[in-house]
Structure 1
């Protein structure tokens, strides 16, 4: 099971995106778990779970450098595209996360 977790300010606005991404994964029988959290919980979550992809909400993209510096050596980190996020295009966001995981694995 791959874990694709989304992080934003309070974890509220990304929870809908994570839910929709989970629906897409389930529909295609992909072994992926999508959940959303506040970025304030990222260190605790990463102590408890190995993540396969870290997605940052566009409203907190200012955190990318810090999160990528801390966790990017072991896990791909990316900012969700603002247009995809605004349209709640879970299919596109999930596809981009899968591509990022594949590229990371082949590094």
Structure 2
């Protein structure tokens, strides 16, 4: 079954670049996933998802996002170094690991 990963940041712009890197990594590994990026205000329009990953600049919103989506969807903040380096492979691996927990 295809997993859906949602990245959210203040406006959805910086995470869009990371989404492309994650899609490249998934394609290279033969993993079927749907990966989207959105701004914080559009989050509800992209649900359901198997995981929500927040840009580091949204770390302060982790608890409120978790309250909005409930306990069935994992919510995490993307590692700042991986985000800054646009390391799509590491972020994808983190997402897949948390989904299967």
TM-score scaled by length of structure 2: 0.94
RMSD of aligned residue pairs (Cα, Å) = 0.9
Determine the C-alpha separation between the residues in 2 that align with 1:22 and 1:82. 19
Determine the C-alpha separation between the residues in 1 that align with 2:5 and 2:18. 12
Q: SS of the residue aligned with 2:100? A: helix
Alignment of 1:1-107 (within 5 A): 1-46=2-47, 50-103=48-101
Q: SS of the residue aligned with 1:83? A: helix
Which moved further from structure 2: 72-81 or 9-18?
Answer: 72-81
Determine the C-alpha separation between the residues in 2 that align with 1:45 and 1:5. 8
Residues 26-48 of structure 1 show CA distances to partners (whole Å, capped at 9, x for unaligned) of 111101111111010011222xx
TM-score scaled by length of structure 1: 0.89
How many residue pairs match? The answer is 100
Asked if the contact 2:6/2:46 (under 8 Å) is kept, the reply is no
Determine the C-alpha separation between the residues in 2 that align with 1:40 and 1:80. 18
Asked if the contact 1:64/1:77 (under 8 Å) is kept, the reply is yes
Asked if the contact 1:19/1:35 (under 8 Å) is kept, the reply is no
Determine the C-alpha separation between the residues in 2 that align with 1:23 and 1:75. 24
Question: Relative contact order: is structure 1 or structure 2 higher (C-alpha 8 Å, sep ≥ 6)?
Answer: 2
Determine the C-alpha separation between the residues in 1 that align with 2:62 and 2:91. 17
